[in-house]
Every structure is written in structure tokens, then in C-alpha cells.
Amino acid sequence: MSGQHKGGFGEQVHGTIDDHEVTASFGYGNREGEVLLADGHRENDIRRSLHDHYGSGNGPNDNGTDRGAYTGPGSSLSAEDKASLREAAERERRHRNRSRDRSR
């Protein structure tokens, strides 16, 4: 299955980073630790539209992509910012697992 992913990105969520409104989608499976991020609280699916992609620290886009979709705090991706994004992704993963377990 070369080139195919065994994971993806969850439903988008709205939040703020230092009072800067954002829309995010957190990775799962082999996308664990990755985040799609865009300015504003968007209704359109950012997985299928303009977004910046912050990686897990591994692979060709390990430091993310800068397409200008996210311009808020941390857009330069310092080590501290990457750690914060990873922590947020881990919280989302735990929440998703709890929700999945309750539905069984």
C-alpha cells in the first residue's frame, strides 16, 4: 500500500491561540502528532481547503508548511510552539478514544 495512509485527520475544531481564532484538525493513526491549522473559525472543511500543516517532527514536512493560512502566534514554529501543538494533538487523541470507547 505504498503512498496510502493508515490514518487521517479528525473533525475540525474551533479554538484560540493567544486570543487568535483558529480552526484545527488533529491527526490520528500514522498522522498522529500532525495538525492542520487555519486562521478564524471556519465552517468550510479545512482538510479540503487552504491550511497550514504542522508535522510530527519527522518526514519531509517535519517543520510544517507555511501557505499563509495561519498567521497567528507561533506561526514561525519555535520548539515550544511545536510542543504545544503536539500536546493539543495528544489531548484530542485521548478525547477521540474516550468517545469511541463510550459508543461501543
Domain ranges of the chain: 7-103
pLDDT of residue 28: 87
Mean pLDDT of the chain: 77
Percent above pLDDT 70 for the chain: 67
Q: Would you say 38 and 65 are in contact if contact means Cβ atoms under 8 Å apart? A: no
3-state secondary structure of 73: coil
pLDDT of residue 1: 42
Question: Is the model's pTM score more than 0.85?
Answer: no
Q: Would you say 6 and 29 are in contact if contact means Cβ atoms under 8 Å apart? A: yes
pLDDT tens digits, 63-98:
567 777 887 876 765 556 656 666 776 676 677 778
In terms of pLDDT, which residue wins out, 64 or 13? Answer: 13
- Dist. CA 79–CA 92, nearest whole Å: 20
**For range 30-36, the mean pLDDT:** 85
pLDDT of residue 94: 76
pLDDT of residue 79: 56
